[in-house]
Structure 1
Amino acid sequence: MIYVVCEPEDFFYDIYMIVSLYFPYEKVIDKKGECDISSGSMLIEVSFKLNDSTVASNCSLFVKDNMTYKSIGHCFENHTVWGSKKKSVKYCIKVSVFKLLKDYTKIEIPWGILTGIRPSKIVSELKSKAVVDGDIENILKSKYLIRNDKAKLVMKVSKNSYNLLNCDPKRISVYIDIPFCPSICLYCSFSSNPIMNWSKDMDDYMDALEYEITKCADFINKHFKVDTIYIGGGTPTSLNDCHFKRLLDIVSGSFEMDGISEFTVEAGRPDTITPSKLEAMKAAGVGRISINPQSMNDDTLKRIGRNHTSSEIVEKFRLARKLGFDYINMDMILGLPGENLDNVKYTLGSILKLSPENITVHTMAIKRASRLKEKIVKNEQVQLPPAELVEKMMDYVVETMDRSGYLPYYMYRQKMMMGNLENVGYCKSGFQCAYNIQMIEERETIAGFGAHAVSKAVFLDENRIERIANKKDVKEYMDSIKETTDNKLKAFKTLI
């Protein structure tokens, strides 16, 4: 347990996020009054001084020695105020805590003080102000303390995506969430539901989804131009053939499909892909699909709870190609339980032999509500590779993707990622997924439909985003569908 003392307490969360980079499995407590020294392993004290032009942060680290805390580190930071005073204080505190813990642990955090921020958005904002690439890279390294190789990576991502960013406030993308899966993977905490538990309620879910989409589509078609459509989840293809066909009919019957630049369906799990579903997608105008291995090692697939084999992945990929799908994404995850570098090499090599247009490389994130996190808390053996090995896996992927001609075009980070690394989408030249770019860069309004979906109303002129979240729980979503739809329409009306 790590105690934090910060006066005032407004900045505890920012300190917590930095401490969690170095001690991801430690409980971090905002100390109020006396702390229980018998349970605390460490104490961090933070204070700051602010005037009109400068902010100074003082940070001290104490480690338990018998029944007292022993001072073992100190960091003082002094910075010029920029932007709001609160933002300047927050930055100064984060840098001082970061440097103090780096000196104490000797751990190199690749993304510096960035925690919940999308790194590519920083680059895009600087580019929009006509800052040149060389200066942007220096800012990433000096201001945000990002490691050199990661700064270069995010600059490459921007190079391959910046010209595709939306500048038209009348363009909108549609996201549809199907929150069901054939089974729940070991590492997943997403609000997915085993579809067998919802078979009797599926008609009701589809009714609610149809109501929400059709009520909003009339307004969207009148005032906006639909740019991309993305059906995700969950695993949309876990629906039976009848419900899946109905889903596609709802979409194609509701939105003006002429001029849509991209229509994606997350087919995802190969055990849910059938010839009839592929044919229905083709007939509905779906151009891009995902078939996601995560690993091509059968022992790993069993271990993480995916009810398919690597041979099924290859079989369904070839079937999709045979039926005319020439734009396919495949996902893989680095840091899966029990995997080593050779396993990753085998997975990536197997995927490259299939030559998909997109390959999305995820770093394992230990999600709070996952069965994996539960096992870790219970001290069960989960065989997670160490962070150093996961970083070697990522280094191998970066080198191999570059050698194979794939370009990094979008990226994002999550909490509790192993090695504090990243997720990167790679593409063959000319195959950047437009929805992924707009979703990460938050430059285009997203209309989200279905349980767990989040709509984002983007006010480009104000550099402002308004989030409208649907209910996560499927039953609550169905019960509140009229209120959900009315709230969404009310928010969208403020855009016109």
Structure 2
Amino acid sequence: MIRIECRDALYAYDIYHITKAFFPNEEIEQQVDEKQEQEVSVTLENGSCFSIAPDGVAGFSEKKERKHWVNKQLYNFCRQEQGHPLAWGILTGIRPTKMIMSRLESGAGERDALEWMTEEYLVTGEKAELALAIAKREKALLDRLDYREGYSLYIGIPFCPTICSYCSFSSSPLEEWEDRVDGYLDALCRELSFVGTVSAERKLNTIYIGGGTPTTLNPQQLERLLSHLEQTFSYENLIEFTVEAGRPDSITREKLEVLKSHPVTRISINPQSMQQKTLDAIGRRHTVQEIYDAYEAARELGFDNINMDLIAGLPGEEVCDMRDTLEQIVHMQPDSLTVHSLAIKRAARMGQEKTKIREAKRLEEMVDLASDYAKRLELVPYYLYRQKNIAGNFENVGYAKVDKAGIYNILIMEEKQSIIACGAGASTKIVLSEKIELESRGKLRTTNIIRIENVKDIEEYITRIDEMIERKGEWLWH
């Protein structure tokens, strides 16, 4: 058990996540008490202790500077204890490319931006270079969009064939909801109709149907949803339309034919692993052969932009398993490949079962291997994000052929264009042209991002759909 004590809640989040990144499989107990003697103290299981006395931070007038200095001191202590650095240093946020892009947009040169990442945030040189390269590619792609008049649309389908053990998303097994799917679509189409009406003068740039697994809908339900979208929105300015066909066991040729009959430009067929033992262990309940079958059917029908997702560090997998998976992916030749480092969330079954994370060295080999194989596929990294409790302090990277990058993926990370989200658990982000003051948890904060959350519970979403619509009406395009 590792014990963390802080005098000020200011430190709590970063101290916890930096410590957790170095000691991913240790239990952590955290307490904030303004009466304690030390400003911050971290006591490891072996008895080693890191502490900062109140007079140690007295020289910092700004809270932000004080926290930053403490984070760096803790990092150096943990690095010495563990004998290795963290790939992303003291960064605890999920958007490192957004940070470096902001630095470039403020007038900094590339070398200055790299030094800022490595010196101020202790990011390794390799990861800083990766963030810079991706930020430059992102900027070139996003320059095609109209931030002020344009927007993107997300549609959530919260059903899956089964729930994977690593998953913490708001999705439910289809068999429990099969008789309510049409009712869910009734509510969803009402919400979409409202958004289409109030957004008639705006330019729709990208559509992303995710979940859950959208292809759990039967062919008639898919046709109903896609037809409703075409009747509700203008596609005149649409440059990308993605549908996640993520679970191969939910894909049929008839469903792919429905997608192909509409202007869907990009789909995802996500194996996560090509090892049958792993698929069985994580609750995927489909075979490796079904992955091949779904992929081949999509190619036969003419889909020319197919993404595949993999997860590095799944339980029981060794580097040789990752290599075999990547060899099979090379055989299929997808147009893009998204490689996730396993992140174990508390809400997922893995989190509840306290699944152990692979040691950083093994994970680093898997992540580096994926990068090497992406080059063999002539895919370049185009977007990057990180998650809380991500294995080995690594990252999730999207690789794509030059003209096949997923623009919506970049938008969700960089927060430069409004994304209107419909469906249970969907989160709308409205990007304002200027910052405003908003009250949050009794405090005023300055922001240019307005978040509007739909309820996660499917039954509540259906019965409270008028409330979801009203929430959007308060902010959309005002």
TM-score (norm 2): 0.91
How many residues align? The count is 463
Higher deviation after alignment, 325-334 or 458-467: 458-467
Distance 1:26 1:34, change over 3 A: farther
- Aligned pairs (5 A) from 1:181-330: 181-222=160-201, 224-330=202-308
The residue aligned with 2:440 is: none
Distance 2:58 2:334 in 1: 48
Alignment-derived partner of residue 353 in structure 1: 331
Contact 2:308 2:338 in 1 (8 A): yes
Q: What residue is the counterpart of 1:102 in the other structure?
A: 79
Q: Residues of 2 paired with 1:407 and 1:440: CA distance? A: 18
Amino acid at match of 1:319: A
Let me know the Cα RMSD of the aligned residues: 2.4
Listed one character per residue, the Cα deviations across residues 147-206 of structure 1 (whole Å, up to 9, x for unaligned) are 111111111211221122245211100000001000011111211100110012112111
Q: Is the counterpart of residue 454 in structure 1 residue 427 in structure 2?
A: yes
One-letter code aligned to 1:264: T
Alpha-carbon distance in 2 for matches of 1:231, 1:357: 19
1:32: how far off? 3.8
| Corresponding residue number in structure 1 for 2:6 | 6
- Judged with a 3 Å threshold, the aligned counterparts in structure 2 of structure 1 residues 256 and 446 are, in CA distance, closer, same or farther, namely same
Cα–Cα, structure 1 residues 404 and 11, in superposed 2: closer, same or farther, change >3 Å?
same
Q: CA deviation at 1:439?
A: 1.0
Bigger shift: residues 242-251 or 14-23: 14-23
Amino acid at match of 1:125: S
1:399 alignment counterpart: 372
1:189 is paired with a residue whose SS is coil
CA distance in 2, matches of 1:104, 1:9: 25
Which sits farther off after the overlay, 448-457 or 333-342?
A: 333-342
1:181–1:477 Cα change, 3 Å: same
Displacement after TM superposition at 1:305 (Å):
1.0
Provide the residue aligned with 2:108 in structure 1.
131
In 1: Cα distance, 2:425 partner to 2:185 partner:
14
Pick aligned residue for 1:343 from 292, 296, 321? 321
Q: Which residue of 2 aligns with 1:27?
A: 28
Moved more, 269-278 or 455-464: 455-464
CA gap 1:28/1:217 in 2 versus in 1, 3 angstroms: same
Q: Mean Cα displacement is larger for which, 69-78 or 206-215? A: 69-78
1:91-112 per-residue CA deviation (whole Å, 9 max, x = no partner) reads 2222222222222332321101
- Which among 139, 164, 168 is matched to residue 141 of structure 2? 164
> 1:425-450 CA distances to partner (integer Å, 9 max, x unpaired)?
00011211111111111111000000
Amino acid at match of 1:182: P
SS of aligned partner of 1:11? helix
Q: Return the alpha-carbon distance in structure 1 between the equivalents of residues 376 and 463 of structure 2.
A: 52
Correspondence for 2:407: 434
- Distance in 2 (alpha carbons) for counterparts of 1:77 and 1:170: 49
Quick check: 2:427–2:453 contact (8 Å CA) kept in 1?
yes
1:93 paired with 2:54, answer no
Q: Which runs of no fewer than 5 residues in structure 2 stay unpaired?
A: 436-446
Letter in 2 for 1:216: V
Secondary structure at the aligned position of 2:261 is classed as helix
Which residue type is aligned with residue 393 of structure 1?
M
Which amino acid counterpart does residue 443 of structure 1 have in structure 2? K
Question: Contact 2:330 / 2:373 at 8 angstroms: preserved in 1?
Answer: no
Contact 1:338 1:384 in 2 (8 A): no
Distance in 2, Cα, partners of 1:287 & 1:434? 12
**In the TM superposition, what whole-angstrom CA distance separates every residue of 1:209-234 from its partner, at most 9, and x where no partner exists?**
01111011111122x10000000000
1:268 alignment partner, SS class? coil
Residue number in structure 2 paired with 1:443: 416
- Which one is further off, 95-104 or 302-311? 95-104
Q: Which residue of 2 aligns with 1:15?
A: 15
Return the match for 1:465 from 415, 436, 449: 449
Given that 1:191 and 1:472 are in contact with CA atoms closer than 8 Å, whether structure 2 keeps it comes out as yes
Distance change >3 Å, CA 62–CA 227, structure 1 → 2: closer
Once the two structures are TM-superposed, the CA of residue 71 in structure 1 deviates from its matched residue by: 5.4
1:431 maps to a residue whose letter is: K
Give the C-alpha shift of residue 72 in structure 1. 6.8
Rounded to whole Å, the distance in 1 between the matches of 2:254 and 2:41 is: 63
What is the alpha-carbon distance in structure 2 between the residues aligned to residue 167 and residue 272 of structure 1? 35
Q: Secondary structure at the match of 1:444?
A: coil
Of 329-338 and 403-412, deviating more is 403-412
Residue 384 of structure 1: how far off its partner (Å): 5.5
Contact 1:74 1:100 in 2 (8 A): no
The residue matched to 1:289 in structure 2 has which SS?
A: strand
Percent pairwise identity? 40
Question: Partner letter of residue 21 of structure 1?
Answer: A
Instruction: Please point out which of 78, 83, 98 is paired with 1:121.
Output: 98
Q: d(CA) in 2 for partners of 1:440 and 1:169?
A: 17
Runs ≥4 in structure 1, deviation > 6 angstroms?
Answer: 72-81
Distance 1:449 1:80, change over 3 A: farther
Stretch deviating more after TM superposition (175-184 or 276-285)? 276-285
For the residues of structure 1 that align with 2:363 and 2:14, how far apart are their CA atoms?
A: 26
Deviations 1:20-75 (A, max 9, x none): 2223332231154999xxxxxxxxx753xxxxxxxxxxx6555578xxx7757779
| Partner secondary structure for residue 491 of structure 1 | coil
The structure-2 alpha-carbon separation of the partners of 1:300 and 1:71, relative to structure 1 and needing over 3 Å to count, comes to closer
